[in-house]
Amino acid sequence: MAKIVVFYYTQTGQTLQIAQSVCRPLVEAGHTVIYKEIIPEQPLPYPCNGKSFFNVFPESREAIPCPVKPVDLNDAAGAGLVIIAYQVWFLSPSTPFHAFFQNPAIQQYLNGKNCITLTGCRNMWVMAHEKICSYLRNAAGKPAGNIVLQDRHPNLISVMTIIRWLFYGKKERTGLLPAAGISAGDLAHAALFGKIIGGALRSGQWSDLQEQLRAAGAARCKPSIVFMEKTGYRIFGLWAKFILRKSKNNAARRNFLLKLFKYYLFVVLYLIAPVGLIFFYLAYPFLPGKLRSRN
């Protein structure tokens, strides 16, 4: 039986719930699962207000770690599998995970270990995943699989429900809006991924794990969303650099620029992105295969 170490951070509890759902069959099969929480010195509150929400933007995008409490690795030695349960903030890994991966002790720990990445996000995870993969490559960890759970409602609906959830603590459905976040059905379905991982732990065969997970629906993405995400990621990079450069040691200017970014984001989401999507769908039949495929 293997030891499985799950590193996680969560603001609302959702990421931990997903990790627990994936790990349930592994515990039932007799494996030992150890959870290690990454605890920021100043956690993003839940619910949070707009100011603290947007305040994490430049550092998330520019891979600047937030200060976190030391992670005790004493009981994590000898793990046969590491699960990294992170969240996406502004199309990038959250700042606690920049801190995690940039910690030399963690890099040493991950060296040579089979690692599964796990995230529960709204619907844009591809660029954050690429960053996580580059962190894993730097640490010489072995990426064994990737699991993504996401809100399946239309993009603009999930923007409204996530704001209601994260800003006001209201996750449940209303007469007009669906519940926010990962659905109960998808959360329960995540146990299937745990069963598949259990098979790899039994056989020691990791090379086809991602293919099996993918076939079970572990990492879906919509080409139209990836198109928006890739465009947004580039522009977010310009904004983040600009805000950091212009607001050094000037909190008032930083707040002002973050407010500008907030207005920009809503205009893009509700006015520009829908028009861009019309062009995307018109061009869709002519796009190269890779851009059109769903994985």
Ligand X SMILES: Cc1cc2nc3c(=O)[nH]c(=O)nc-3n(C[C@H](O)[C@H](O)[C@H](O)COP(=O)(O)O)c2cc1C
Residues sharing a CB contact under 8 Å with residue 210, sequence separation 6 or more, in sequence order: 144, 145, 146
Q: Which two tokens stand for residue 72?
A: 């005790």
Residue with the two structure tokens 């005790």: 72
233 with 225: CB under 8 angstroms?
no
Shortest distance, CB of residue 60 to ligand X, whole angstroms? 7
Shortest distance, CB of residue 210 to ligand X, whole angstroms? 20
- Closest CB to ligand X among residues 66, 121: 121
- Closest CB to ligand X among residues 56, 82: 56
Q: Which residues of 57-93 are buried (b: 16+ CB within 10 A; e: fewer)?
A: bbbbbbbebbebeebeeeebeebbbbbbbbbbbbbbb
Shortest distance, CB of residue 129 to ligand X, whole angstroms? 11
d(CA 62, CA 116): 24
- Closest CB to ligand X among residues 47, 80: 47
Residue 290, judged by CB atoms within 10 A of its CB (0-12, 13-18, 19+), counts as: exposed
Shortest distance, CB of residue 35 to ligand X, whole angstroms? 13
- Closest CB to ligand X among residues 123, 210: 123
Shortest distance, CB of residue 57 to ligand X, whole angstroms? 7
| Interface with ligand X (CB under 6 A) | 10-12, 14-15, 53, 56, 87-91, 120-125, 166
- Closest CB to ligand X among residues 96, 198: 96
How many whole angstroms from its chain centre is CA 279? 28
Residue 98, judged by CB atoms within 10 A of its CB (0-12, 13-18, 19+), counts as: buried
Torsion on CA atoms 98, 226, 155, 232, rounded to nearest 10 = 60
Shortest distance, CB of residue 241 to ligand X, whole angstroms? 17
Residues sharing a CB contact under 8 Å with residue 224, sequence separation 6 or more, in sequence order: 277, 280, 281
- Closest CB to ligand X among residues 89, 227: 89
Residue with the two structure tokens 């030695």: 77
Shortest distance, CB of residue 165 to ligand X, whole angstroms? 8
- Closest CB to ligand X among residues 109, 236: 236
- Closest CB to ligand X among residues 89, 100: 89
84 with 144: CB under 8 angstroms?
no
Shortest distance, CB of residue 104 to ligand X, whole angstroms? 25
Q: Is-cis flag, bond preceding 47, omega within 30?
A: yes
